Every structure is written in C-alpha cells, then in structure tokens.
Structure 1
Amino acid sequence: MDTDLSFSSRRSPVVCLHGCVASSQPLASAVGLDVLKRGGNAADAAVAIAAALAVTEPCSTGLGGDAFCLFFNGNTGEIRGINGSGRSPKGLTLELLIGRKYSAEAPLPVFDALNVTVPGAPACWCDTIKMFGSHKLTFQEVLNGAVELAEVGFPVTEVTAHAWTHWVAELREAGKELGGDLLIDGHPPKHGQVFRNPALAQTLKELGERGKSAFYQGRVAQAIIDIIIQHGGVMTLDDLSSHDSEVDTPISTKYKGVRLWESSPNSQGLAALLLLNIMENFPLKALGHNSADYIHILVEAVRLALTDAKTYVGDPDYVTIPLQSLLEKKFSSQRAQLINMDRAMQDVKPALMTGNDTVYFCVVDSQRNACSFINSTYMGFGTGLVPKDCGFSLQNRGANFSLHHNSVNCVAGGKRPYHTIIPALLTDCATESQQPQLLASLGVMGALMQPQGHIQVLLNMLEFGMNPQQALDAPRIYVEYDLKEDKWSVNLEEGIGEEVAAALRRRGHKVNWPVTGHKRSQFGRGQIITLGDWWDPSANHSDHPTRVLWAGSDPRSDGCAMGF
C-alpha cells in the first residue's frame, strides 16, 4: 500500500461575508454551501454535509454511526446541543460476555457484531433540523444533495481512497468482509474512481420522506437486526424503536477572556476542558510554539486530563460525574510531574487509541448561527456489517466499553459508552446580563487525539496569533498510552525539529519522530470557522469585529472551506 503523502503546498484562509462551510470533502462542502444559498441556515447545511459525507466517506461516517451537534443561536446567544450517541442492546450485559468466554484480559474482537450500538446519527440529523433548522427547506430538500451523489456517483478522493483500502484490509485480516454495497466488484475504489451507492440513495430518500421511523422501524430496522443476529449479536427491534436523541447541555471553561464549549458526558468533551485548565497555568507564548518546553507541558497536561476523563466519564444515566468540581481543579507543574497515571489508563482498550475515522465539519450562516457537528462509525467501517439493500455499515462503538466490573464505563444493557467524538464552539466570556458573542466553530477528530487537537489548534490561535488555516497546518503532537509497553508515548509530526525530539527524550519521554505520510492521520482532521480576526494581535478589531468569516480546512484530509 502506498504510504507517501507529502505536504508541499500551502493554503490561505477562506474569507467571506455571508456564510461559510468547512468539511473534509469538497463535494460535501459544496452541498452544504448550496443549502445556505437556497435559504437554509447553519443547521440545515450541517445535516446536508453529514449526509453527503455518509455517501463520500463511508469509511469514516454514515447512518450506521453516531453524531453530536452543538448549535449557537445568532439571535439569542443560546448554545444547545444534541447527543446523538446510541445505547448498547438491552441484552448486552457483562454476564453475557463472560458467558461467551470474554473478559477484561481477553475482550471480544473489535469488529464483532456484539459491538454494534444503536446508530444515533439518523435521529440526530432529524432532531437537528427540527430543533435548530430554518424550516424553510424540507428534510427531503436538505438531503437531496447527498441523494444525487449516491445515485449519480462521485470520484473518490485521495485520502479517502487510502482509508477505504486500509479498513477493507483490516477487516479481512480479522476474517471479516465488508458488505458489497461499499465495494466495486469486491474491491475498494481507487483514487479518482467513480463510486455509486444506489442502496444508500434509497435509504436517504426514505429518511427524507418519513423521518426517524424510516430508519428505526420498518424495512431498514429489520435489515439491521437481521444482519446483526446472523453474526451473533443481540440487538432487537425494540432496541432500535426505543432510541431517541438527547438534548445536550454543553459544558465549558474560561481561558484568558474566552470560553470553550464542549459536549457533556458521555462524550469526552470534559477532557478538552480539563486540558485547557491545566495549560492556563503556564506562560505558553514565552515558551515558544512546539518548543521542547511547550510540548513537555502539553504532554504532562494531556496525561492528567485523559486520566481524569477515563476515571470519571461514562453514561450519566449510570454514573454521577462531578463535573463542576473537576472543572474547578487547578493543576500545578509539580503535580503534573509527580502523579503516576499509568494505572488509571490500564482500562483503555487498544481500539480506543487508534484510528482517524470520523468526520468533523462546521457551518456559520448569514444570521451568525453556527453548527459544530461530528459524525462517526468509529473504526473505519465499524463492524463492516452492511444491512441488506441499505448502503451503509454498522458502527462498532461498543468496543469502547470496559469489561472491568468496577469501571464507570463497564458494559451494560441499554448503556452509552465513553464516547470520543466531540464538536466545539468558542465564545467570549459574557457577563450574566450580556449575550455571548460567537468567536469560532471548531473541531479536530480522531479518537483520543480529539481533546488534544481541540486545544492545540485553539492555542495556536489564542497564544501564537495564527489564522484558522495556519492553526490547522501547524505540526501536531499526539500523546497516547501504549498498552504493549505499559507507558505513555509522544508522537511528533514531521515539521517538529529533531532537536525537540531529542530534548524530550532526555526528559524521559518515549518519542516517536517524525510521523510522516498517511501516518499523519493519527493527528486528526480539523475544520475552523472564526467570526472576525480576533486571533490577530496586530488587527484593528473595532473595524470589522464579526462581519468577516475566516475559515480553514485540515491539509491532512481532502476537504476545503467554502464561502459566499
């Protein structure tokens, strides 16, 4: 497999006045922009992009996965969210798995049908339109762009073609086969090859016509259950029909005059906020961007934040999470150096540490509504199970559950797992009598890279004055817990100096440098749209505080930002 992926070009940030979209696929961005131009708002365009990406990047997202949404109301300043994560089948219990000879030491294979949780994305799409949409376009009209891509076909982009091939190979190595709807004559499509998915087009049409019931009841629901049962799973029609989204009350923290908003548990948004709280204790700008001192502090802070998240975050219906006390913690450099967190991370599965198989995208419209949205099937195609004549694969999000009985994330029937996917918004720190002002919609996807990515690109703007595109272009750091070696490791992307890697090794860090080519996928793929150039210390912000939209799209993906 060709692993060469050079980064030899540059992009300017997209600047526009009326509306802007940013996603990991140009055709999906174009679909979202078209919805804005036809009178839809940010929520309408976000769902249109979600559906288009389900067609064009099925190795990362789709109707068989989950989604989270954060929405900023430009008129009221209110921020609300939707938790579109599904629950495990009611029959999936720890006792059942033990009875099938699985344990914490010998967990079930990641692609097993028992890891299918109820897909929450279709309900999240419907509820996003219902709660936040303009209601100027019907749901069918919102989905039309995706339907056309599936019916007529589209040329597969470079990074997506690589991921498609990779995950087909991973499934086959595990003795699994991806459903034929997502292959061409039994093979993954190549870069530039036109791919059609008429089965998915039909499913999207039915969803547009009948809403949630078209997915969670009837033909599609029965096809989902049939293939899961056929492969040893325990999901039932009742598990599907009883699913619904939950309104999410976002959580936030302050940092030097701004406020970062994240989805609440069962998502890992808490990890990003804890990380930002820790980083506020240090003179980051003086240390220098991606210097050895800066990265050392970031690594220690990530270890603390992820360990707290893994200790406390689970389904809030099953565990009480002390959010306020955790967010009020302030950490010192001494504590970061003294605490040994390895034991707390023993519960992290290898599956949780891998993969870059999610789509994040964002939209800001002319009314300055913003929609920050993320959608995923978890590990590539998830389980690779494709319900008959449906055109999508089923996620394996249940692989995130723990089989340790005392874990807050222990598997149980009807429970949502610790969830990695998180969208984010940034506002100013308004007083109680003021309406908060939107500063940015942003996100970086990729398993446990996500909270790390959120904070790195945010600090690139806040501390180092980078514009949104520069903030995404800059080399990143990914801190992970290596289960095989029972220690933390630090992955440094190409562009970070060799002398920095050497200095970190002298401090005792296990360093992987340089990470190049397609392996850069571990650092995530992000999108950012800002209102105004507040990140530029030399700009006269009073001249154009929020009129101009600035946007960037990650060079590690195939996508782009577009505006008008």
Structure 2
Amino acid sequence: MHRRSFLAAVPGVVLLPGSAFAEAQQTGAGVAGSQGAPGPGQGGAATPATPALPKRWVAGTDRFLRPDVAAGDRPVGASFASRTAAYGLNGAAGTAHPLATQAGIDMLRRGGSAVDAAIAINACLGFLEPTSSGIGGDAYAMIWDPKQRKVVGLAGSGVSPRGLDLATVQSRARGGALPPLGAVTVSVPGAVDAWWTLHKRYGRLPWAQLFEPAIAHAEAGAPVPDIIAYYIRRSMAAFRRPGAGIEETANALRTYGLADGKGPATGQIFRNPDLARTYCAIAQGGRDAFYDGDIARTIDRYFRRIGGWLRFEDLAAHRSEWIEPHRTAYRGVDVHALGANTQGIATLQMLNILETFDLGDEGFQSPSSIHLQAEAKRLAYEDRARFYADPHFSKVPVEWLISKEYARQRAKLIRRDRILDPVYPGQAPSRGDTTYFSCADKDGMMVSMIQSNFRGMGSGLVADGLGFMFQDRGQLFSLKDGHPNVYAPGKRPFQTIIPGFATRGSDPWMSFGVMGGDMQPQGQTQIIVNRVDYGLEIQSAGDAPRWHHEGSSQSMGEDGPGMGPRGLLRLETGVPAATRQSLADIGWTIGEPDGGFGRYECVEHRMDGGTRVYAAASEMRADGCALAY
C-alpha cells in the first residue's frame, strides 16, 4: 500500500471562542489539566486559566507541557504521524526498547527464526523494561506458521498456589477485591516455560544463544530511557508507601532502587547482576532450571520465609498450553484473538458490533465514530465482566459471544444522540504496565507476543538473589461467589494481556498489539478501525490520537472508584476540540489524558510481486523503536 497524505479534518488544537485554549492564546495563560483537557465531570466545559505557559523545559521535570504547540510537519503521510515505518526484505522487529529491538534483529541475522528473536527480545526486556515485563510474569503468543499457513496460539499463564484457599484470599480483600501488592496476588510465572515451549517447536538457534544479549546488558548495565525510568520511580514510591501490604521490600529496593531506593533517573545506568546469574542458569539448564531446579527451590524458600504461598510443587507442575485462536471477519480482514483466560475476544466482540455501522462514512476522529466505538466497548466489557474466566474451570460461551447475530442484537441498543444507560451483559443461552513486541523472519514466520507482570512492576516481591519481580496477576480474580472467575487454588486468573494478529485471505497481514491493561482490546480495535475504515498506514494508525473508556462493570480490582454509571471517556490531546465538545454535549464525562492509552508495536507483511516486504512500526508513547533489514 502506497503512503498517502492524510490531513485531519480538524487540527489537533481548535480555538473555540471562550475556550481555555483561546484565553491562553490571548493572555499567555496556561490550560488546566495535565494536557489541557477538561477534568473528570467537567463535560468538556472551558477550564479556568492557570499561570503563564512555560518558556523552557525545566531540568528534572518529567514533562514539558505546551498545549498550544503541535508536532512538526512531515512532508508526506499523515499530519500526526511521528515517523515513517521501517521497511525490509529479510526480517523485522518492533519492541518497547531499542536495545531489545537490536537483539531481535541480531538473532534474525544469525539465522534464527522469529521465535528465536522473540525469546531474545523478551529476555532483554525483562532487564531493560522491568516496569512491564520479566520472568516473574506470564506470556501469550500468536504465531503465523508459514508451513501450516495458519495462526497458532500459545498460553503461558500460571495458576494460583494450590496451598492458598479462598477463605484466606477473602480475608486479605480490600473493598471486595484483592489488594494490588503482596504475596496473595502471586501466581506461577509462565513466561520461561512459554519461551521453552515455543523454542522446542520453532527455534533454530541453540537455546543458550538466545540469552547472550540479555546477560551482557544485565552485567554491563544500560542507560534507562525516560518512560521506563519514570515508571520505575513510581513503583519504588508505591512499594515504600506505608500500608502497601508487601511482606518484604528490601530485595525490590536493592534490585531496582539504586543507591537511594528511589529508582534511576533518566539516562542513569542500571545493572542487574542477580538477573544475569538467573539468566545464565536458565540458558544452561533450560526451563527445568527455573521450574524444577535451584531457582524453584530458592523461590520456595523465599515465600516460606515471608509467609507467602507459592511453592516448589506449584512451579514443577506448570506447563504452557497450545490453543486454537478465535477469529472474526471485519470488512475483508480476519482478526484473530486468544481465548483461554484472556480478554482477547473483547476485541472481536467490539469489531462485530462496529461492523454494523459505516464508520468510514462517519469520518476519522469524528464525534460519531468515537461515540460508536466507545459504546461498543461498554457493551463488550459487560460480557467481559460476566463471562470471561479460565475455561478449565468454567464454561465460557465464546462462540455465542463472538457471533455476528449476537453482535447485531447488541448494536441495536446503541443510540447516536445519547449514551446507553444502564448497560448490561447479554443473556447467554443455556449450555453445559505489560510489554508487547512483534518480529518476523525471512521465511515468513511472524510472532505476536505479549508479556507482563500485570500492574506496574508486579507484586513488589523479589526472591533472594534472583533479580526479578513476581507478577500480581492474581488481583484479577473475582471474590464473588458463583462468578466464573472466582478465586480457586490451582486456577488461572483472568488475564488482560493479549497479542493481536490479522490476516487477509490466506496470507498474514499484521502482527500487532497495544499494551496496557483494559486498554488492550480498545487499542487493538482502534488500530483495526484506523487501518480498515480510515485507510491509515501502519505507523499513522498507531500515532493517531486515542480514546480510552474506563469504568465498565467488573468483579476485579482493575478500575478505581468514582467513575459513575457511564464511566469516564479519556481523550488524548490530539483529539479535535470540536469532537471533544460534541461528545461532552451528548453526555460523555470527559477525563484528562493520563498516559493510559497503550503502547503499540506492529509488523506488517505484504507482497511486492513475488517478493516479501516487511514494514515495522513503533510509536511515541513508549521508549522503543522498530527496525527491519
């Protein structure tokens, strides 16, 4: 597909008469809010003026906020795009850290498969981006298998400790949900076994070779980029907070806090020799070194010491699971999603609902387009809260949920001039901070992989001398009796992490993902809509301003209180002011941008005659980059 100019119909900042933006232009005043957006409950009304706009970026501050200044002008492509996609013939990778992307490309140049590159990338990110990933967490992948010519899926999700019962979990609840930190939220880490399982089927390079870049970086150290440094510091502050509920914090502060326990400054060199030693053990001993060897015994001793529940036997019993992805057709594109215990099918539900509307005719970034997308989200997420769970414990009516007929029924509930209120899940028929990366190789294999410790850096717990934090994924269990996702020993919690994949006809098209908790299906849907309905290419589809709706029903501790029955619709600053005002006029409560709009990576497959071409994209919301060769 040729790049083309795409100029937004409304500029990123429109000076409405009487608006705070207009006042700022006339008086030199600033705009209230983190990025000049209306605050929660303000419904898009003008906000009071604040002190004069800053003249320069003050050293030591995280942001330089100038809502009156837009990005520079690119001579081609979308006016809001940050860069051009990277193009190559032999392979591509996009990750949230440049050094991880380079490691993936290096494995491809050595003759490795896309799976080899993905494992090397993930190992690097566990050191380079500990705010979103690490071997204390889970992993999911979708792979385009060029020999089978199909998308295959892998679930690397661990279960809750078998020695932790529901009564004990309920005794630790806060406000009806599990706390965000501490041992009660820890489940078996699935990432290392997922890597091993993928490598056994698709790897070409020796297992130990895949860990060489990560070990070298962890030993020598690497400067920490802006966003990662910011989130490490926030996590360290949360762990040190009185009443955080973490059984032991000394290990986490020693591993990630640097000399003062507060975390690295931007550009400061960070080292993790403990993680380097752990990686060396895994490189030499494979997955058994982690689940059935000295690492597992160290983990067992640690949790016994602090009064936690994870045990050697839980680790030894863990195995990843090959699963068949679900899919739906959307205007000539097949979009694939993992079921299992993830929220993956929410993307399919949203797209099925939106297919009943002509979004292309509504217009890019128009009020009606965003309204329809947000309402589709609200409908799908009611089902998410009611039905999604570990299918080994509960019968999840997936085929009904992702059916076109059910989507047509749900779409009829949406009104263009008002917000659906109240919104309920469907009636099922009776029957028995995350990292994402994508890479592709010279033989056509493409890997869409996502890996996470869940909220922030994880539980706050780091086992003695191992150099990684355990996930707090267990917080997403429900504590409601009879709910499909209610806590049980040896059960997988509901998962937010989902890789994305799209095919066209019998060919792969996009290996993509959008990181960030409940934002992930919302972000994936926006990427597909931007590409299919609005014709954006791979880079501008991710750079386009996003919306994020919060406050749907759920039984987990994911959203904060005070959202109201309709929730909160957050809009990035780049959403046209006229669109923002129109959405407020029909009743949406507009929230300030808070950085929670996800982070996107994508590799696109295309053919030029008989030659394969890859395009790779990253975005400005993360510290990463995309490369191809």
- Give the alignment's TM-score, normalised by structure 2: 0.81
The 5 A counterparts of 1:84-103 are 84-98=156-170, 100=171, 102=173
Q: 2:581 aligns with which of 472, 480, 502?
A: 502
Query: 2:135, 2:528 → 1: CA distance?
Result: 30
State the identity %: 35
Match of 2:414, SS? helix
Task: Note the C-alpha offset of 1:82.
Answer: 1.1
In the TM superposition, residue 341 of structure 1 has moved relative to its aligned partner by: 5.4
CA offsets per residue over residues 244-290 of structure 1, 9 Å max, x none?
11112111110111101111120111101101101101111111111
Aligned equivalents of 1:366, 1:471: Cα separation in 2: 25
Match of 2:407, SS state, is: coil
Tell me which residue corresponds to 2:325. Answer: 250
Per-residue deviation, 1:5 = 5.8
Paired with 1:320 and 1:162, the residues of 2 have a C-alpha distance of 41
Instruction: Tell me whether 1:267 sits opposite 2:342 in the alignment.
Output: yes
Q: Which runs of 5+ in 1 are unaligned?
A: 346-356, 430-435, 533-540
* Contact kept in structure 2, 1:303 and 1:341, CA below 8 Å: no
The residue identity in structure 2 corresponding to 1:461 is R
Farther off after superposition, 498-507 or 113-122: 498-507
Contact conserved, 2:436 with 2:514, CA < 8 A, in 1? yes
Q: Does 1:459 align with 2:522?
A: no
Matches within 5 A, 1:274-423: 274-328=349-403, 329-331=406-408, 333-337=411-415, 340=421, 357-423=433-499
Task: Show the counterpart of 1:555.
Answer: 620
Higher helix content, 1 or 2: 1
Structure-to-structure mapping, 1:151-190, within 5 angstroms: 151-173=219-241, 174-175=243-244, 176=246, 177=249, 178-185=252-259, 186-190=261-265
Displacement after TM superposition at 1:330 (Å): 2.2
**CA distance in structure 2 between the partners assigned to 1:44 and 1:485 by the alignment:** 43
Q: CA separation in 2, counterparts of 1:108 and 1:446? A: 19
2:187 to 100, 117, 121: 117
Contact 2:344–2:498 at 8 Å: present in 1 too?
yes
Query: Which residue in the other structure is 2:26 paired with?
Result: none
Q: Distance in 2 between matches of 1:279 and 1:342?
A: 17
CA gap of 1:400–1:35, structure 2 versus 1, over 3 A, is same
Does the 8 Å CA contact 1:342/1:486 hold for their aligned counterparts? Answer: no
Quickly say closer, same or farther: Cα 1:341–1:23, change in 2 above 3 A.
farther
Deviations 1:304-362 (A, max 9, x none): 111112211100011111111111122354313486455769xxxxxxxxxxx111000
Indicate conservation of the 8 Å contact 2:379/2:425, yes or no: no
Looking at structure 2, the residues matched to 5 and 372 of structure 1 have their Cα atoms a distance apart, in angstroms, of 34
For the residues of structure 1 that align with 2:621 and 2:179, how far apart are their CA atoms?
Answer: 29
- For the residues of structure 2 that align with 1:41 and 1:296, how far apart are their CA atoms? 42
Q: Is the 8 A contact 1:479 1:489 kept in 2?
A: yes
Within a 5 Å distance, the mapping from 1:197-276 to structure 2 comes to 197-276=272-351
**Larger displacement relative to structure 2 (458-467 or 5-14):** 5-14
Distance 1:324 1:397 in 2: 26
Pick aligned residue for 2:266 from 186, 191, 206: 191
- For 2:257 and 2:612, locate their aligned partners in 1 and report how far apart those are by CA, in whole Å: 45
Matched, 1:511 2:610: no
Q: 2: CA distance between counterparts of 1:398 and 1:294?
A: 35
How far has the Cα of 1:506 moved from its partner?
A: 1.3
Instruction: After TM superposition, list the pairs within 5 Å mapping 1:19-98 onto structure 2.
Output: 19-98=91-170
Aligned-partner Cα distance in 1 for 2:609–2:128: 36
Q: Are the structure 2 counterparts of residues 108 and 323 from structure 1 closer, same or farther at C-alpha, using a change threshold of 3 Å?
A: closer
**8 Å Cα contact 1:227/1:385 also seen in 2:** no
Counterpart of 1:376, as a letter, is S
CA distance in 2 between partners of 1:263 and 1:442 (Å): 13
| Amino acid of the structure 2 residue aligned with 1:362 | S
User: How far apart are the structure 2 equivalents of 1:101 and 1:271?
Assistant: 30
Question: What per-residue deviation string (whole Å, max 9, x for no partner) do you get for residues 405-433 of structure 1?
Answer: 1211100000001100000111123xxxx
For the Cα contact (< 8 Å) 2:236–2:257, is it kept in 1? Answer: no
Q: Is the 8 A contact 2:97 2:624 kept in 1?
A: yes
* Structure 1 SS opposite 2:449: strand
The CA distance in 2 between the partners of 1:426 and 1:109, in whole Å, is 36
Instruction: Provide the C-alpha distance between the structure 2 equivalents of 1:404 and 1:343, rounded to a whole number of angstroms.
Output: 18
**Structure 2: which amino acid aligns with 1:59?**
T
State whether residues 513 and 524 of structure 2, in contact with CA within 8 Å, keep that contact through their aligned partners in structure 1: yes
Any idea what the Cα deviations from partners look like across 1:502-523, whole Å, max 9, x if unmatched?
111111111114x2xxx32x00
Bigger mean CA deviation after superposition, 219-228 or 29-38: 219-228
Report if aligned partners of 1:179, 1:386 keep a CA contact under 8 Å in 2: no
**Aligned-partner residue type, residue 494 of structure 1:** T
Write out per-residue CA displacement over residues 466-502 of structure 1, whole angstroms, 9 at most, x where no aligned residue: 1111011100000110632432110000101222111
Q: Distance in 2 between matches of 1:161 and 1:101?
A: 31
How many residue pairs get aligned? The number is: 529
1:486 aligns with 2:560: no
- Decide which moves more: 450-459 or 504-513: 504-513
Name the counterpart of 2:598.
524
**Whole-Å Cα distance in 2 between the matches of residues 333 and 315 of structure 1?**
27
* 1:219 to partner: Cα distance: 2.2
- SS for the counterpart of 2:460 is coil
Please report how far the alpha carbon of residue 106 of structure 1 lies from its aligned counterpart in structure 2 after TM superposition. 3.9
Task: Determine if contact 1:250/1:261 at 8 Å carries over to the other structure.
Answer: yes
CA contact (8 A) 1:22 1:363 kept: yes
Asked whether 1:12 is paired with 2:89, we answer no
Contact 1:17 1:548 in 2 (8 A): yes
Q: Specify which of 488, 499, 504 is matched with residue 428 of structure 1.
A: 504
2:285 aligned partner, one-letter code: R
Deviation for aligned residue 1:182: 2.0
Give 2:183's aligned amino acid: A
**Change beyond 3 A, Cα 1:82–1:284:** same
Structure 2: how far apart are the matches of 1:139 and 1:44? 8
- CA 1:238–1:5 in 2, change beyond 3 Å: closer, same or farther? farther
TM-score norm. by structure 1 comes to 0.90
CA RMSD of aligned residues (A): 1.9
Following superposition, the deviation at residue 107 of structure 1 comes to 3.3
Aligned to 2:38: none
Counterparts of 2:507 and 2:330 in 1: how far apart (Å)? 15
Distance 1:259 1:344, change over 3 A: closer
Question: How many Å separate the matches in 2 of 1:225 and 1:8?
Answer: 51
Distance in 1 separating the partners of 2:424 and 2:479 = 16
- Identify if the C-alpha distance between structure 1 residues 32 and 341 changes in structure 2 by more than 3 Å, giving closer, same or farther: farther
Q: Per the alignment, in what secondary structure is the counterpart of residue 71 of structure 1?
A: strand
Asked if structure 1 preserves the Cα contact closer than 8 Å seen for 2:172 and 2:179, the reply is: no
Would you say the 8 A contact 2:394–2:484 is kept in 1?
yes
